[in-house]
């Protein structure tokens, strides 16, 4: 198991970040992680705490943008990268549907129906 990102708060002002992913040795993780994280956010982020988790991810993004040397360029890069990932995800959903699969998307905080029918 690898820690993608750990954010811990100690007291009121001490926030620390850590990761187990050695980006110096595995720079390709920057390209491979977004689709993996997208699939986890779309399929396995269940438990009822999704709104809080997604809110904290957005809080981290806002703080990062606030520190950016060129916010407009960073926003443009994030917009472009997320647009391509979204299109790939939509194509994957369409391909599964075209092959006879059935995909049902649930919003954050909405648990999927239980597979246990007993």
Confidence at residue 97, expressed as pLDDT on a 0 to 100 scale? 87
Structure-token pair, residue 23: 């980006």
| Nearest-angstrom CA–CA distance, 5 and 69 | 23
Kindly report, residue by residue over 73-86, the tens digit of the pLDDT. Answer: 999 999 999 999 99
Confidence at residue 108, expressed as pLDDT on a 0 to 100 scale? 64
Coil vs helix vs strand at 87: helix
In this prediction, residues 1-18 reach a mean pLDDT of 94
Kindly report, residue by residue over 33-77, the tens digit of the pLDDT. Answer: 999 998 888 877 777 788 888 899 999 999 999 999 999 999 999
């Amino acid at each position: 198991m690898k820690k993608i990102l750990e954010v811990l708060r100690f007291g009121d002002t001490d926030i620390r970040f850590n990761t187990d992913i050695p980006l110096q040795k595995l720079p390709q993780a920057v390209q491979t992680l977004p689709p993996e994280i997208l699939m986890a956010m779309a399929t396995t982020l269940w438990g009822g705490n999704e709104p809080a988790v997604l809110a904290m991810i957005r809080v981290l993004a806002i703080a990062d943008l606030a520190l950016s040397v060129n916010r407009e360029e960073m926003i443009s890069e994030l917009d472009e990268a997320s647009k391509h990932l979204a299109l790939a995800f939509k194509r994957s959903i369409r391909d599964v549907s075209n092959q006879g699969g059935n995909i049902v998307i649930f919003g954050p905080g909405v648990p999927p129906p239980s597979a246990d029918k007993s």
